[in-house]
Chain A
Amino acid sequence: MALWINEWKIMTEIIRTANLVKDYSLGKVKVRALNGVDLTIGEGEFVAIMGPSGSGKSTLMHIIGCLDTPTSGEYHLDGVLVSEMEKNQLAMVRNRKIGFVFQSFNLLPHLNVLKNVELPLMYAGAGQKERNLKARQIIDSVGLSERLRHKPAELSGGQRQRVAIARAIVNDPAILLADEPTGNLDSQAGGDILEIFSRLHSEGNTVIIVTHDKAVANRAGRIIRIMDGRIENGDIAG
C-alpha cells in the first residue's frame, strides 16, 4: 500500500502497526506497556520516537526491532507480517532487515573492529571473503579504515559508535534502529554520529532514533511522541 505524503511524493510504507498491545506481568500485577499503537513509517523517513521513561518507547523499539513480540495487534515490516513469525524467522528478519545501534555500543570486546562488523554477515551465511570485503567497505565509509585491527577498548566513544553503525548497516537493512545513540557521547562526538545518521538518511536509508533529547529529535523529519503506551502525535507520516 502506498500512502500520500503530499501531492507530489509517493512513499512506500516500511513499518505499519495496527493496535499493538504489549502486556508484562510483574509478579501478579499485569502492566500494559503498549496500549494500542498504530504507527506508520515510510521508506526513507528519518523519524524520532520520544517519550519519558516508562512511556513504552523502549518496548515499542524492541517490538519494531523484532527482539520482542506483541501480545496482540499486527506489525508489518517491509510488507511482511512479522508479528506472527516464529523465533527463527525473527532472527532472520533481525539479520536482514534491521540494523541496531545502542546507547552503550554493544560491541563484542574480544573481537576487533573488522570482526565486529563482520558478525551480521557471518550469521547471514556469507563466505569469509565476501564478509571481509563488505565489512572493509563499510568501515571505510564511517572513516575507521585505520582501526580495523583495534579492539573496542582501544577506541574512543565516538569511534565505537561508528563501528556499531557500520555493523548495523553492513547487511543493508530495511531500517536503522538507534536507541539513544548519542547518550554516552560528548556533544562533539554526538554531533558527528548524528551527521552520519543524516547522511545515511540522505542516501535513502530509513532511520528511526529513540531518544529523549530534543536536540537529537529535531534532526529527524518527524517526531513521534509516546505517552502511557499510546502515540500522542505524529503517528502518520508527514
Chain B
Amino acid sequence: MAISLAESLSVGLADILTRKVRSAVTVIGIILGVMSIMVVLAIVNGMNKSTLEWMGERGGLSKIEVHQNWAYDFSKGGDASFDLREINYIRQQVPEAAAFNPQTQLNPREMQYGELGYTCSLLGVFPDMVKVEDWPVKTGRFINQLDIDNHNNVVVLGSTTATELFSSRSPLGQYVTYTGNRLLVVGVMEPKFLQNQGGGESFGGENALEYMNQRAFVPLSTLLSKIDPNQRINSLSLQAADPESAKQLRRKVEDIVLDLKRGKRLFMVDSAQEQMEQMKRNSQIFSTIFVLIAVISLLVGGIVIMNIMLASVKERTREIGVRIAVGARRRDVFLQFLVQTVLITGLGGVLGIILGYGVLGGVGKYLKLQVIASAQMIWVALLVSVGVGLLFGTLPALRASTLDPVEALREE
C-alpha cells in the first residue's frame, strides 16, 4: 500500500528538479560546511605528517635534547653551559642512553682551502652525533673516540660546505684552515633534505634542513682546547633505546642537570616523543575547534533548509491535500518531504566534497602545505550532510504529514 522508498526518491528528485534555483540556494550552506570540514581535516592530517617527518629527519622519536631555557631569568646568575667535566659526569649517570652527543657551535667564520673561502658554522661534537641525528657520513669517516682522546685536528664537512670548497673533487686527505687551525678533512656527511612546508623561500630554499649541510664538525675536545678555549658546551642530545623509555630518560636527565646546576632551571630538557604527543594534542584541539566551527556552519545551513522546506510545505499545502485525497498516507507525505530534504543536503555534501578537493589542491600548491584527504573524511562529510538533512527535514515533513486534508484542500 505504501509507496516505496524508491518512489519517494523519485518524487523527491522530481521536486528538486522543478525547483532548481531554490534547491541550489538551499544547498550552499551545506556545501560550504562540508567543504570546510574536509579542508581542515586534510590540513591537520598533513601538518601532523610533516611534523613527524621533520622529527624523523632530526633523529627520531627517541631523541632527547638539553638546551638553554629561554624563560630563565639570567639576572639571577648562572650560565647555561657545561664544561667537559660536567658532561662526563652526566654521561656516567645515564649508561642506558643509546647515544650521547654534547655539542658547541662557533659563530660562522670563514673556512679556507687554498684560495677559496666559505663561511660556515663549526661544531664541536662527539662521535655519537651520527646516531643522535640519525645522519650518516657519505664518504670517509666520522669523528671517532681516538680523535676525541687525542684532540686530533680533523674535520668532517657538511655536503654544501664540501661542494663550496672542493666542487667535485674529493676533499678527503686535504687540509682546510679555520681561524688559523689546520684541519684534516676525514669525511663528508650525507646531504640532509626535507621538503619545505609553508616556509616558501625564506629559509634554505626548498630544503628546510639546508642549514645543517652548511656546517662542519670537529672533535669537541679539539674545539675546546685548540680552536676556542673560551667556548663552552651549550647543548646536549641523547638517544634513548626507544621512544617510550625516552620519556623516563628525559626526566632523569632533567633531574641530573638540575642537580648539577644547584636547582637553577638553566636548561630545558625535551623529548621528541613528548613533543610529538603534545603536538598531537594541540592538533587535536585545533581540529576540534575548526570542525566545531564547520559544524556550526552546517547547523546554520540546516536551519536555512528547514525554513525553506517549511515555506515549501506552506506553499504546497493544496498539493498535499490532493495527495492525501487520492490516497497518500501520512507516512507517504512525511517520506516525500524528508527524502527531498535529505537529497538536497546529500547533494550539498557531494558538491562540498568536490569543492573541498579543489580548495585542497589550491591550498597545497600556494601555501606549500602537505594536505592529506582520506576516504574516511569523505564518508564523514557525506554522513554529516545526510544527518543534517534528517535532522532539519523532520519538522517540515512532520508538518506536511499532519495537515488536515479538509483545511489543506480549502487553502488557496
Chain A partners chain B: yes
A102 at the interface (CB under 8 A from B): yes
In the complex where A67-B409, A92-B1, A122-B3 touch, is A108 in contact with B319 (Cβ < 8 A)? yes
Number of interface residues of B (CB under 8 A): 24
Q: Which of A87, A123, A167 has the most CB of B within 10 A?
A: A123
Identify which of residues 320-335 in chain B touch chain A, using a CB-to-CB cut-off of 8 Å.
Answer: 321-332
In the bound complex, CA of A96 to CA of B319 (Å): 19
Q: Is the CB of B319 within 8 A of A123?
A: no
A88 at the interface (CB under 8 A from B): yes
In the bound complex, CA of A65 to CA of B409 (Å): 13
| A interface, size bucket | 20 to 34
B18 at the interface (CB under 8 A from A): yes
Q: Is the CB of A95 within 8 A of B406?
A: no
Q: Is the CB of B2 within 8 A of A125?
A: yes
B86 at the interface (CB under 8 A from A): no
Q: Is the CB of A108 within 8 A of B1?
A: no
| Residues from chain A with Cβ under 8 Å of B136 in the complex | none
In the bound complex, CA of A101 to CA of B406 (Å): 14
| Residues from chain A with Cβ under 8 Å of B63 in the complex | none
Contact of B327 (CB < 8 Å), options: A87, A110, A120: A120
The chain B residue with its CB closest to the CB of A88 is: B329
A145: min CB distance to chain B, Å: 21
In the bound complex, CA of A125 to CA of B327 (Å): 11
Binary interface encoding of chain A residues 60-98 relative to chain B, with 1 for a CB under 8 A from any of its CBs, else 0 = 001001011000000000000000000110011011100
In the bound complex, CA of A122 to CA of B14 (Å): 15
B46 at the interface (CB under 8 A from A): no
Q: Is the CB of B322 within 8 A of A122?
A: no
In the complex where A67-B406, A108-B319 touch, is A119 in contact with B1 (Cβ < 8 A)? no
| Residues from chain B with Cβ under 8 Å of A167 in the complex | 326
Q: Is the CB of A92 within 8 A of B409?
A: no
A106 at the interface (CB under 8 A from B): yes
A46 at the interface (CB under 8 A from B): no
The chain B residue with its CB closest to the CB of A99 is: B326
| Residues from chain B with Cβ under 8 Å of A67 in the complex | 324-325, 405-406, 409
A197 at the interface (CB under 8 A from B): no
In the bound complex, CA of A123 to CA of B328 (Å): 6
The chain B residue with its CB closest to the CB of A100 is: B325
Q: Is the CB of A125 within 8 A of B325?
A: no
Q: Is the CB of B406 within 8 A of A106?
A: no
| Residues from chain B with Cβ under 8 Å of A122 in the complex | 3, 7
In the bound complex, CA of A92 to CA of B7 (Å): 17
B318 at the interface (CB under 8 A from A): yes
In the bound complex, CA of A132 to CA of B324 (Å): 21
Contact of A102 (CB < 8 Å), options: B7, B323, B329, B409: B409
In the bound complex, CA of A28 to CA of B323 (Å): 32
Identify which of residues 99-132 in chain A touch chain B, using a CB-to-CB cut-off of 8 Å.
Answer: 100, 102, 106-110, 119-120, 122-125
In the bound complex, CA of A62 to CA of B321 (Å): 12
- Where the two chains meet, the residues of A that have a C-beta atom closer than 8 Å to any C-beta of B are 62, 65, 67-68, 87-88, 91-92, 94-96, 100, 102, 106-110, 119-120, 122-125, 167, 171
Extra pairs beyond A68-B405, A91-B327 (8, CB < 8 Å): A87-B329, A88-B331, A95-B327, A100-B325, A119-B323, A120-B327, A122-B7, A167-B326
A-B contact pairs, 10 of them (CB 8 A): A67-B406, A67-B409, A91-B327, A100-B326, A110-B14, A110-B18, A119-B323, A123-B327, A123-B328, A171-B327
